Structure 1
């Protein structure tokens, strides 16, 4: 009996110890920061690229991987494209402003067994394609060997590929190795096919693609200095035949039993002779230091993840971690380094979209706030890139707009600025969120020098709004347009029309378009020219003049609630920055100005009956105004809560509208027009689709007034109901609020930034990016 009791006691003790061990192990595991290896293929980058790069909505058919600001990117070969195995599909190159596939695959390896005289058929291998944060890995498992190809970026112009071949046999493996590729050499864009006029030539241990001087505005740019080059560590002989090349190793290799053979190659895409020569001088160093470079790449990307998952509360929400990593990968793939007119690193909206390979103002502000969390230098430079072109008083094109930040910049300047591009937009600015971005970047970096650098520029930009966009000089601004050739009516040949007095004829619709673009909400219901209802005269154009009666720009006839909420918030951020910089007079000034803006918005822009904020229609210099409740509710209505200027009572009513399932609490919440808006359209850009920046501000609006549970509820729906987000699909520009379908383009940067911030500030924390300078 004693023996039985002893055995039972031993079992109890052992089980107790075992359970303690299990609990300790789980606890240890839970406190571990997620590793790179945990995040395999969170975005599907497989492809069968062709000359027709664009699918729906002028967007690349496929998703790609890039890093370090390079202007070229790669795919995996699609599982059904067995003829592409052994190479990285693509690459995609950005022809200064427009993407194109250089090839289906351009570095495809071919292995020949010299003993059996047979070429290895990789389609018969067991394959594994793994996109991990910061690298692509292809693995081909065969009976006698394993081939592994690993690609990382080593600079903003070059990627390095490690080729590793492991001999599984008990005898030496004698191989010949060659690499081959064929240029697509054309770009199909709808009904038009553009000949890219590229040629191949052998180069030192590799091959070089020579580009032609093509200035095909709206399709592709290249010059004779543009090059794509492949350089092999191992000596090769290259033969070129038309658009096809083969680089074959000079001497066959022998791999001893159970040993691994490794070799490296560097692929560079450069725009100028200087860039090419710089990469040529570095490529041997890349290969020589490959072990350290590979290690540093892993350390950098693990650092990104460590920062993203620094909060232990991450263990409560493991299901959202893939989406966070996807956000980091999306932002990093959309990172472009200085080139052409772009002077600082920045994040473009999406390298997947034909028209988005430039830098936009408020896009850059949003991307910077999130990127500062894991790559602060990139965040700071993203802001600098737009301020590089802040308008100065002696500007050749817009001297009357001193201090303004223009809408968008690209690789090529416009003809007015001595370039030959057509995508810069100097007709309008974007909503004033730059001080928000600078302050939030500072919150992540504590880089006081950055504040000192940016503060005077932010002040000039803030002042510009009141000099050039305040028609009746009442301290409340309107969206509008700069003076621009695009605002004049044209004849059929594109020449400016003149009236009987020889004066240019203003095109009101063009100015209204620019004003809507300036709001960032291009086709929002509230900017419909015809208005809604008999008492609404619609959107009209007003001239803005300085004290000398000189025209300085245009406003539309409505004071927008979001614009003035942003400007109120900006005063708060400027006050915070001024406080850090010991500028007490400026702090007092911004607080005083903010008080006036708050009073005006609360008195004039809130409708008690519907419990929401709206734009206010103004009547030129008259004091008469009309609250535009007739145009329905939009996301602009919760910006006073985001800016923290709303009273608690008003905020409660706005919250009620936001949480109403017939208004903004849709399947994917926060549509840009309320579901009960007469002109709501679930799939029409800013007339209903969910834009993640507006959703982020909506969530933060709820948080600011203590509605944390509502904020978390809506945030979870933003994640869980966006189709593909929680799987391996890309992050979209916007989403259908009723179905969750991704809309417009994909791999969109500010959506990625918003998801990152929603995870960090709502799911694993309870904080916002809103101003704190004004209580």
Structure 2
């Protein structure tokens, strides 16, 4: 018995000492290895502290990956999450720990083939270390300790072996290059002599479903660098590249490189001798460029990146600390530490989706998601939602994102559609539209998007007080605002409709794709195509209110009207005045009124006040149903003499937009709030589905027919805040955080969520969801400060 007690006591003592060692080790290295209830790293979210050090936010997003030629899985979405920064068109993963072949380098990279993200390699540049005395290569998978961690703005790897410790750090230093620091410490008591090399390979094909595309990659030596060359490939719906594209890996020390097909090995010319406690340090850069000019300019900067590496690493950390300092402000930060990880994840998501100028994109901006095959462009209202969040912590990027879309605002002398003067087109991509001599199948000029640009600009101005930016944007915003009334107001009553531009995409075609013409040799209009464009213009692509067949007695369904000016068709409207569109336009008048006052535009200010008063009266009197206590779209006939309130199509998130715009009466707001808080309607497990739960067409997984979209949820929370329903607003906000699958753990932020169980659906790492969560944290959890207009409150 005595021996057993002694053994037990010894085990307890050893366990205690081990725990003390782990805790002290974690504190000294800013590394946390404890896990939360979801099995995710607990970096202090449950401690009553306010954190602003970037090292305190480790592994908020799971970046582990086994990249292959087949980048995408379910829903044409990347199987893994990746890291990027500074607007680079490439990014990296951390290697999955169970794949020893990937250890010693950062997995990937993921590159964007102009408009399509694909994996270039499983691990393009991983280190190999050999003990020269024993001629044995170190097996990193057998390390005593492996740490593969991501922090805001950087990736880290650490391997502790018997006699050496290997550390790798990766940051982006420009919009085309990443910088990797490698250091090897001799932790033995004897001197070491090491041979060091790097191995890598590239894929020569992209697999997309059952389709395999040869991308024509090849390797080439270039002094102390390895150059990946590309062939010209123009697979419009899968992958695009030219022979000017380069991926370039440059080392700061002399290397010998051997190439074998798509594989290479680069070895340091000289062995490395290390005394006990001594550290060897080396640097490499990895650049991805599209054109000869880009490549030449970036190549000339590589020496500076390495020579000034200490400054670059310091500046990177300071930049990201600046983002956190701006985010975690105010007395209430310390009261809600559990939401800090989600706020940081929102910032990381937006920064990974940052894209710099390339191709037809002339300014920095935010794409919806680098994880989704089809989202590598900039959509107007996606960008504007991102900009309202960016205004708080990265306002310069927000300004440029505005410019990126307005750079293609239609002018009166436009070669293609001068009749759309002032319009902002739906989406822009690397390749411009074919109607303008480009080859961009994803570029879309057929429709616009809901007018949220003035909302974004005013929020940027409130943060920056940059009057020059306001002066730059104000006339463009006014032109866009006015376009809705010149091209989307069929009966000229000051109330707009969704619709479509005049576009070849709206013509009927035969089986061979040829345009069908009528007796006058004019193209025949495809009403279904216009209705599709109108739904796209609303941003709520398949919402139940846009179902062509209509529903119930007296509902004639969705019809198409021609909008004419001087006898010429300038666009098309559908036969319903949408309550969300006109609420957005009312809010926009408020923001424009505030801008006009700042800029001394007295006549504009007066006109905006008068127009807003008329629109307010119309919305309150014509778009609200007394019986159900909710707002709906209004159907009308060709001359506007007959209308029908579309109560029969059910409730959707559009019905609380009048509260977000501050256009509803207090009495109307009270009944809308009751609908929003009803558990059989909108107050679901994950609150605020896009179609009410009692809508007969409600479907919790079908895009805009039931899933929770965070932008609409944000508008719902701010709608409640506007009318003093603060308790309800905070209650729903906390549900949005706590009931979204994996949000509070290390899962990505999704495009939308199932309202009944909180499961993330559609694509992931979605920008406007991230922006919405950021704003909910800042303006509801930490304050009661909605982003809405108060000029007409």
1:340-359 correspondence to structure 2 within 5 Å: 340-359=359-378
- Within 5 Å, give how 1:133-532 maps onto structure 2: 133-532=152-551
Separation of aligned partners in 1, 2:283 and 2:329: 35
After superposition, where does 1:594-743 map in structure 2 within 5 Å?
Answer: 594-743=612-761
Q: Secondary structure at the match of 1:181?
A: strand
The secondary structure found in structure 1 opposite 2:300 is helix
Report deviation, 1:32.
5.3
Change (3 A) 1:190 1:458: same
Matched-pair contact (CA < 8 Å) for 2:630–2:672 = yes
What do the CA deviations read for 1:271-315 (whole angstroms, capped 9, x no partner)?
011111111111111111001110000000011011110122011
Assess, with a 3 A threshold, how the Cα gap between structure 1 residues 729 and 87 changes in structure 2: closer, same or farther.
Answer: same
Judged with a 3 Å threshold, the aligned counterparts in structure 2 of structure 1 residues 531 and 230 are, in CA distance, closer, same or farther, namely same
> Aligned to 1:544, what secondary structure does the other structure show?
strand
Q: Distance in 2 between the 1:517 and 1:388 partners?
A: 21
Q: Is the alpha carbon distance of 1:571 and 1:72 closer, same or farther for their aligned partners in structure 2, counting shifts above 3 Å? A: same
Q: What SS does structure 1 have at the residue aligned with 2:642?
A: strand
**Partners of 1:768 and 1:423 in 2: CA distance:** 34
**SS in structure 1 opposite 2:392?**
coil
**Once the two structures are superposed, what CA deviation does each residue of 1:656-681 show, in whole Å capped at 9, x if it has no partner?**
00000000000000000000001000
- Give the 3-state SS of the residue equivalent to 1:543 in structure 2: strand
How far apart, CA to CA, are the structure 2 residues paired with 1:173 and 1:281? 35
Rounded Cα–Cα distance in structure 1 between residues aligned with 2:595 and 2:433:
34
Q: Secondary structure at the match of 1:373?
A: helix
Q: Give aligned pairs, total.
A: 747
Question: How far apart in 2 are the matches of 1:261 and 1:275?
Answer: 32
Instruction: Give the 5 Å matches for 1:31-42.
Output: 33-42=51-60
8 Å CA contact retained: 2:498, 2:574: yes
Cα deviations by residue, 1:452-492 (Å, 9 ceiling, x for unpaired): 00000000000000000000000000000000000001111
Partner SS for 1:464: helix
Q: 2:16 matched to which residue of 1? A: none
Deviation string 1:721-757 (CA, Å, 9 cap, x unpaired) is 0001000000000000001000100000000000000
Aligned to 1:16: none
Are residues 1:758 and 2:779 paired?
no
Shift in Å at residue 35 of structure 1?
Answer: 1.2
CA contact (8 A) 2:48 2:337 kept: no
Contact 1:683 1:689 in 2 (8 A): yes
Aligned match of 1:592: 610
Q: Report how far residue 33 of structure 1 moved.
A: 4.1
Q: Counterparts of 1:665 and 1:765 in 2: how far apart (Å)? A: 22
Q: Which residue of 2 aligns with 1:569?
A: 587
Determine helix, strand or coil for the equivalent of 2:313: helix
- 1:5-154 matches, cutoff 5 A: 33-125=51-143, 126-154=145-173
Please give the secondary structure, in 2, of the residue aligned with 1:228: strand
Q: Distance in 2 between matches of 1:749 and 1:622?
A: 39
Q: CA deviation at 1:414?
A: 1.8
In the alignment, what sits opposite 1:4? none
Whether the aligned pair in 1 keeps the contact of 2:50 and 2:333 (CA below 8 Å) is: no
Q: What SS class does the counterpart of residue 623 from structure 1 fall into?
A: coil
Identify which range, 495-504 or 320-329, moves more after superposition.
495-504
> Deviation at 1:31?
6.8
Say which SS state the counterpart of residue 441 (structure 2) adopts: coil
Structure 2 CA distance for aligned equivalents of residues 132 and 279 of structure 1: 26
Q: CA RMSD for the aligned pairs?
A: 1.0
- Give the unaligned 5+ runs of structure 1: 1-25
* TM-score after normalising by structure 2: 0.93
Does structure 2 conserve the Cα–Cα contact (< 8 Å) formed by 1:314 and 1:764?
A: yes
User: C-alpha distance in 1, partners of 2:330/2:240?
Assistant: 45
1:660 is paired with a residue whose SS is coil
Quick one: distance in 2 between partners of 1:517 and 1:627? 22
Q: TM-score, normalised by structure 1?
A: 0.96
Pairwise CA distance, 1:180 = 1.0
Tell me the distance in 2 between the aligned counterparts of 1:741 and 1:348.
23
1:665-724 C-alpha deviation (Å, 9 max, x unpaired): 000000000000010000000000000000000000000000000000000000000001
Residues in 1 aligned to 2:321 and 2:644: alpha-carbon distance in whole angstroms: 54
Does the 8 Å contact 1:31/1:312 carry over to 2?
no
Q: What is the CA-CA distance between 1:534 and the residue it aligns to?
A: 3.2
- For the 8 Å contact 1:576–1:772, the answer to whether it is kept is no
Moved beyond 3 Å, runs of 4+: 29-33
Per-residue deviation, 1:396: 1.1
Offset, 1:203: 1.0
Instruction: Answer whether contact 2:428 2:443 (CA < 8 A) is retained.
Output: yes
Cα deviation for residue 420 of structure 1 reads 1.4
Deviation per CA, 1:505-535, whole angstroms, max 9, x where unpaired? 1100000000000000000000000010131
CA distance in 2, matches of 1:767, 1:272: 45
How far apart are residue 622 of structure 1 and its match? 3.5
Determine if contact 1:33/1:310 at 8 Å carries over to the other structure.
no
| Separation of aligned partners in 2, 1:683 and 1:30 | 37
2:286 and 2:146 mapped to 1: Cα distance? 24
Q: Is the 8 A contact 1:397 1:416 kept in 2?
A: yes
CA–CA distance in 1 between the matches of 2:419 and 2:612?
26
Secondary structure of 1:542 counterpart = strand
Aligned-partner Cα distance in 2 for 1:151–1:532 = 56
CA distance in 2, matches of 1:631, 1:556: 16
For 1:673 and 1:166, how far apart are their aligned partners in 2?
Answer: 59
Q: Secondary structure at the match of 2:155?
A: strand
Q: Which string of whole-angstrom CA distances, capped at 9 and with x for unpartnered residues, describes residues 301-343 of structure 1? A: 0110111101220111111100000000000000000000000
CA distance in 1, matches of 2:192, 2:436: 61
Distance 1:169 1:114 in 2: 15
**What is the rounded CA distance, in whole Å, between the counterparts of 1:279 and 1:420 in structure 2?**
27
Output the CA distance in 1 between the equivalents of 2:299 and 2:522.
57
Between 747-756 and 123-132, the greater mean CA deviation after superposition: 123-132
Q: Work out the CA distance in 2 between the residues paired with 1:453 and 1:622.
A: 37
Pair 211,454 (structure 1): closer, same or farther in 2 beyond 3 Å: same
Q: Is the 8 A contact 1:523 1:685 kept in 2?
A: yes
Q: Which runs of 5+ in 2 are unaligned?
A: 1-43
CA distance in 1: counterparts of 2:159 and 2:175, whole angstroms: 29
Given that 1:206 and 1:237 are in contact with CA atoms closer than 8 Å, whether structure 2 keeps it comes out as no
